Chain A
């Protein structure tokens, strides 16, 4: 079974500082990896995804993530936090093979401090 670990349910970051959200995955087959963002009382919006092409993936709103197979990681970064980045972020794993279920981590609630 595939799974994702996100540590630190709440993450505080100062405006203008680096945003780093960690995601480690477990998968017995080559994974597809995703980061989603959820703003208060809204649905899920795809930030970026890795599907076995380039290991450095660029997404929307200035976010990017790097797939590191040796570390089974897919950490999300943004060089400079904006107030509008305050939201909950979810890492998720799936695969091309099997039933394609999407397994989510528990999420990181990001708070941006002015």
Chain B
């Protein structure tokens, strides 16, 4: 089925470890986004990529890096994980028009 695929679905990290969250979309969308969801905070934008080859900071970029590998893939990297980065992470994409498509999320726990 067409959509946004996120891997992994669950991950437990120790403080200081690094990891990359993967996101891929097969809808030929130009724009891709990474959000984090925390209780009572809604979804907050970490980074986004308006088109292949460009990335920009969102609302809460500290502690994260991103790579827009190609038009399909947009990865989020935690270089040195901290307990404050325990969250649910959502990737989304948007093509022409007004529709956003979300992945099913990655639940990350940093201990």
Q: Which residues of chain A have a CB within 8 Å of any CB of chain B?
A: 6, 9, 32, 34, 42-44, 46, 49, 51, 90, 92, 94, 96, 99-107
Docked complex Cα distance between A9 and B44 (Å): 16
Chain B residues touching A, range: 20 to 34
Main secondary structure of the interface of B (DSSP, over half): strand
Closest Cβ neighbor of B58 among chain A residues: A101
Docked-complex contact A43 and B42, CB < 8 angstroms: no
Closest Cβ neighbor of A99 among chain B residues: B50
Give the residues from 39 to 54 in chain B that come closer than 8 angstroms, CB to CB, to chain A: 40-45, 48, 50
Given contacts A49-B98, A51-B98, A94-B98, contact A100 B50 (CB under 8 A): yes
Docked-complex contact B94 and A9, CB < 8 angstroms: no
Indicate if B74 sits at the interface (CB-CB under 8 A): no
Docked complex Cα distance between A102 and B99 (Å): 11
Docked complex Cα distance between A92 and B90 (Å): 15
Shortest CB distance B97–A (Å): 8
Give the 8 A-B CB pairs with smallest separation, nearest first: A104-B42, A106-B42, A104-B43, A43-B104, A44-B102, A51-B98, A107-B42, A32-B98
Docked complex Cα distance between A42 and B90 (Å): 11
Give the residues from 52 to 105 in chain B that come closer than 8 angstroms, CB to CB, to chain A: 56, 58, 90, 92, 94, 98-100, 102-105
